[in-house]
Amino acid sequence: MTIPRPLIPNEHGACAVLFVPMAVAATAVGSFSFNLVLLTLSALSWFMAYRPASILLRDSNVSSPGKEKLRQARFWATVYLSAGLVFLALLLGHGFWLLLPIGALSAGGFLGSFFLSRRRARTIPGDLLAVVGLTLSAPGTYYVGAGSLNSTSFFLWLMNFLFFGCSVFYVHMKMHAASSKKQEFDCAEKLSIGKWNVFYHIAIMVVVGALALVRYMSWFAVLAFVPMTMHAIYGTHRLSSDVRFKNLGLLLLGQSIAFGIILGVFPVWQMQ
């Protein structure tokens, strides 16, 4: 029997949503261990299983993708999930049992995202649930690196969820604009299409700014959100139906890396 062609997740930007929080959390711990390597390999395996698992779930809930596609999905779902379980078992052997509830919450985010979006290509609630699941890699990494879960691990997750939620609203605004047949929008139309994008970004800046004001974290945390917020507001002002999604994806990836660098380099979590 020939090995089917590998199935790789189509949402390439989701890699940043998974691994940037892991990098930030590893930096916050301030140490490196082999257990973090095992966690990274386990997270990667579960992430790779997303596409074949989606195909199998879609076959049982909506429509059949064809026998060959199903065989391909079954093979790679088995490979990816088996690898993920092996690496997870090694971590459990080292006593990291709290990875089980973290992993369960992450899997719940995937299932919620799938069932909310199974009849439509993308939905905002579905994408936000996916972000919840992926950004749980932050507290998971902190737990494996530091050996415990505390308020820092929670705020690592919160900051990453809030940031990557920005991309969800921005991309959906662009998708809405691209689906329109109009070449240009007036101010009222731009505000109508982009209102949730603008509201979310302003709300995030208020939340992060309030946390900085009460000295729960430094102003560098606010700085990490500035490029994305400026881009979102400017993108709403310049909104049109001409959207180059490849360029948009690269720009959002660059902003994600900048976000990770700011949170990783500067002391934003523990205020004196």
Buried/exposed 169-186: b ≥16 CB within 10 Å, e otherwise = bbbbbbebbeeeeeeebe
Which tens digits make up the pLDDT trace of 96-138? 999 999 999 999 988 888 888 766 677 888 899 999 999 999 9
> Tell me, what's the pLDDT at 268?
65
Neighbour tally for 199: CB within 10 Å: 11
Share of the chain above pLDDT 70, in %: 93
Q: How far is residue 199's CA from residue 236's CA, in Å, rounded to a whole number? A: 11
Reference 262, options 207, 212, 208, 219; nearest CA is 219
Residue 272: band (very low, low, confident or very high) from pLDDT cuts 50, 70, 90: very low
Cα separation of 211 and 207, whole Å? 6
**Which is more confidently placed, 62 or 37?**
37
State how far the Cα of 96 lies from the Cα of 94, in Å rounded to an integer.
6
Mean pLDDT of the chain: 87
- 1-12: string of b/e by CB count within 10 Å (b at 16+)? eeebeebebeee
66: left (phi over 0), alpha (psi -120 to 50) or beta: left
**Taking a C-beta distance cutoff of 8 angstroms, is the pair 139, 29 a contact?**
no
Give the pLDDT of residue 95: 94
pLDDT surpasses 90 at 249: no
Give residue 28's pLDDT band: very low, low, confident or very high (50, 70, 90): confident
Residue-wise pLDDT tens digits, 9-26: 777 678 899 999 999 999
Q: Is the per-residue pLDDT at 222 higher than 90? A: no
Question: What is residue 201's predicted lDDT score, i.e. its pLDDT?
Answer: 94
Alpha-carbon dihedral sign for residues 171, 177, 183, 184 = negative
- The predicted pLDDT at position 271 comes to 45
Q: In the prediction, which pLDDT does 211 show?
A: 87
pTM above 0.75, yes or no: yes
- CA–CA distance, 189 with 176 (Å, rounded to integer): 11
Residue 65: predicted pLDDT: 59
What gap in Å lies between CA 253 and CA 17, rounded to an integer? Answer: 9
Q: What is the pLDDT of residues 155-209, one digit of tens each?
A: 889 999 999 999 999 999 999 898 887 778 888 899 899 999 999 999 999 999 9
Max intra-chain CA distance, the chain: 62
What is the structure's pLDDT at 264?
A: 79
241 phi and psi, to 5 degrees?
-80, -10
